[in-house]
Amino acid sequence: MVKHISYTQISMWLRCPRQYDFRYWQGIKIRPVGVMIQGSAYHETVASYYKNKMKKMPVMEFELSSDKIMTSDWIEDTFSTSWESKLRGKITEKDADELELAPEEINWEGAEPGRVKDQGIKLVKSYIYNIGKAIEPIKVEEKVEMDFGSFVYVGYPDVETERNIIDHKIKSRMMSQQEADRDLQPISYLMLRNKRDFAYHIIIRSDKPREPVIVETRREVEDIEWWRRQVGLYVAAMDTGIAPPNPTSWLCSPKWCGYWDLCRRE
């Protein structure tokens, strides 16, 4: 029986129930890739910035030169500390999923780890200078729970302001407005916080970061009620213990699914 559920779990179930089986029921954790280390350190550094901002701590001073953004050493120090801790021990994902790892277990996909780290620092600097300075957070990565009776829905929104909920994304391409309006993550967090407005803060992964972009989307009351019903249906399906593979998913390939070989053998 499912006792705790999150958007992360539902998202994986919808992509492929068999993948969910391997990860959550059997507890098999796949080898993480280097960009996961980068993304986790990015989120942690931005979260630290916003937490300090709520405490009115003046951790940032910026100057804009002709070719680069100059900041205090705070970003580099904070990112490096997060980066090193993840290489030594674990990546802690929101929604209570943890990936235990050792440095030799990381798949760098042919990239130089130092370059991946330096790129991540540049991404954080670009985000904070271009967007972060203007945001006034009231909550940062605070755990939220909603009791559904037989199970509890859990979430960790990146940032909450008086007006909306914000989620940080590092992506290889920009998210379209249509994608944002169709995505299930906004409705999941908006349900937990009883808000209507959601914003993706997106930066493209590059050695020379472009200016980050905000993509906003909204969900109405009827949308939230619809999602409540779907959550119950998903959990009921999970409780059957039946988890067939989804071969039509774009993730169903040796390149994109770490469980590919195991799934084929079974």
> If the chain, 266 residues long, is cut into consecutive pieces of 10 residues, what is the mean pLDDT of each piece?
94 95 90 86 95 76 46 85 82 47 67 93 93 94 96 97 97 96 97 97 92 97 97 97 94 87 88
Name the nearest CA neighbour of 234 among 22, 5, 18: 5
* Distance separating alpha carbons of residues 175 and 214, to the nearest angstrom: 10
Confirm whether 262 is domain-assigned: no
Provide the domain count of the chain: 1
pLDDT score, position 60: 56
What's 68's DSSP letter?
A: S
Task: Count CA within 13 A, CB hemisphere, residue 251.
Answer: 16
Confirm whether 136 is domain-assigned: yes
- Per-residue model confidence as pLDDT tens digits over 162-213: 999 999 999 999 999 999 999 999 999 999 999 999 999 999 999 888 899 9
pLDDT score, position 106: 80
Confirm whether 255 is domain-assigned: no
Q: What is the extent of the structural domain holding 119?
A: 4-233
Confirm whether 264 is domain-assigned: no
- Beta carbons of 196 and 230 less than 8 angstroms apart: no
pLDDT score, position 71: 57
- Beta carbons of 150 and 1 less than 8 angstroms apart: yes
* Distance separating alpha carbons of residues 141 and 127, to the nearest angstrom: 17
Give Cβ neighbours of residue 21 (< 8 Å, ≥ 6 apart): 243
Q: Residue 227 to residues 6, 151, 156, 233: CA-CA distances in angstroms?
A: 13, 15, 17, 10
Confirm whether 61 is domain-assigned: yes
In total, the chain counts a number of residues equal to: 266
Q: Is 146 exposed, middle or buried (0-12, 13-18, 19+ CB in 10 A)?
A: middle
Other CB atoms within a 10 A radius of the CB of residue 215 amount to: 19
Confirm whether 58 is domain-assigned: yes
Confirm whether 206 is domain-assigned: yes
Confirm whether 253 is domain-assigned: no
pLDDT score, position 91: 54
Q: Enter the pTM of the model.
A: 0.88
Token look-up 């993730």 returns: 251
